[in-house]
Every structure is written in C-alpha cells, then in structure tokens.
Amino acid sequence: MFATYKARWHSFIGLGLMVGVVTFVWTTVVTGLWMWWLFALIDRLGPDASVAALGAVGPAVGLLCVALIPVMLAGWWANLAICTVADAALTEQTVTIKEALKLTWHRLLSLIPVVAAIMVVVGLLVWAWMAWLLGSVSRLAATPNNDQAIWQVVGVSLALIPVVLVLSVVAYFLTVKWFVTFPVMVVEQASLVKALGRSWQIVKGASGMVFLMILVVGFAAGMINQIVAVPGSLMMMSVGTINSPASAMAVLGQVIIGLAISLGLVCVVTAVTTPILPILSQVVYRDRARWAPAS
C-alpha cells in the first residue's frame, strides 16, 4: 500500500484535498446557517411546541439534506478517482487526476439515486428527532422544575443509546462487506448493485483483516484531526475572558484566526489521510479478486 501511495502521492493528495476543501468549507457554511436557524426557532416556539416543531423543522431538514448531497457526491467521486489512480499504479499504468475524474464521472451519476435515497431516510429520522427535541426543550423551558418532563426526556434519550449502538454495528459490518465496492465499479465497470454483491463475495474470508484496517486507519486519522483542532479549541476558550466591547473584538479576532488555522490543518490532514482506505480497498481487490472470479 505504501509503495502505491508513494508512486502517485501527488495525485492522491490532490484528490484528498478536493475532499477536504469541499467537505469542510461547504459543511461549515451550511451547518452554521442551519444552527443559526435552529436557535432562532427555539426562541420562537411556545411551551407546547411538539406539533409546531414538527411542521417547522420539516422544510429546514429537507434543505439541509439537499445541501449536503454535493458533499457526499464529491467524496464518492474522489474515492472512485483514487481507486482508479491506485489501480493504474498497481498495473504499472499512468492516470492523471483529470483523467481519473473523467473516467469515473458516469459511475458517479449512477450513484445519485442512492445518495438521494440515503438523504430521504436520514432526513425523516432527523426530522422526527429534531421535532421531539425542540418540543421537549420548549416544555422544559416553560416548566423548568417539572420532574416528570425532565425524566421523560432523560428516559427517551437513554432508550436511543442501544438503537444507536445497533445501527453503528450494522453500519460497520456493511462497511467491511462492501469495502471493495468502488474498486469493482472501477475495474469491472459494474453497476452499484452488482458491485455490492461482488464486494461481499471478494471480502468473504478476509473480513477480520478488513475490519482491523478500517479500525486502525479510522482511529489514527481521528486522533490526528483532534490534535490539529486544538488551536481552534484553545481560541474558543478565550471567549470567557470577554469583559468589554474592545476585548470582545480582540477575542473574536483570535477565535477566527484559531479556527482558520485548525481548518487549514484539518484540510491538510484530510488530504493526506483520505486516500489511504481507497488505496487499501484497491489493493485488497487486486489481491483477492483472483480467488473470487466474476461470474
């Protein structure tokens, strides 16, 4: 894997930077605007706001999901292109970033219905959760000493923990089984449905190895991102020192600088680490595809 990365490092980092810039800049802007709307909505809702919240949250959640579609598509497109460059390196060929993006464009178009379906499901779940949360917050704000309402919120929140754990396990299991889906789409020019089935077939017998690779890479990348986010976190802590308009402006400048530094470092880390799993998936595909020939 490291030899493959080294052979085409400039292409991999370029594609990784594409993911980093699109993901963080776009997501930061969209999430910031959405959170501003959310806090404004909380202030407007009354003490019995569950029905009102249900109606108010729907359009905003829908717009949020639509706004995040480009982020998911950009990430998948970059991953397809990384697999293309990695496969070219493994087969001693040369593919530029532009050629890789062009070759995978039609595959990206076939993924749009899948992205839309995912966003519909996620949107419905977020819609229901946000409506319940906003209604609960409004009722608690109106009756802060209502023990029954407090324990109701706590009880429902605790009940969600096993649900989230089960969904996380299922998601991780499917991630392992579908690990080489993009390589199959790239090399075999397979449709998404066929690629999912082929990936399941190819990974069979190597699930433990794939699980450990995903776990190690994900943990390492997460730790590095947490470390490079420290400057922004330290700057945010200085907000508590504001005691005058002049100091507020100074602290605001520090916060902006800290966040800019953190964002830049996170983008660099993302550019370097994003290609690792797609390269590994291509290596695993080339290593195991011969033991599971396409029918």
Express each pLDDT in 12-47 by its tens digit. Answer: 888 888 877 777 777 777 767 766 776 666 566 555
pLDDT top residue among 130 and 78 = 78
Mean pLDDT to the nearest integer, 183-205: 90
pTM for the whole thing?
0.77
Three-state SS across 49-82? Answer: CHHHHHHHHHHHHHHHHHHHHHHHHHHHHHHHHH
pLDDT score recorded for residue 294: 65
Express each pLDDT in 249-285 by its tens digit. Answer: 555 566 666 666 777 777 788 888 889 999 999 999 9
pLDDT score recorded for residue 147: 62
Local structure of residue 91 (DSSP, 8 states): T
The letter for the amino acid at 28 is T
pLDDT score recorded for residue 183: 93
pLDDT score recorded for residue 234: 62
Phi then psi dihedrals of residue 274, to 5 deg: -55, -40
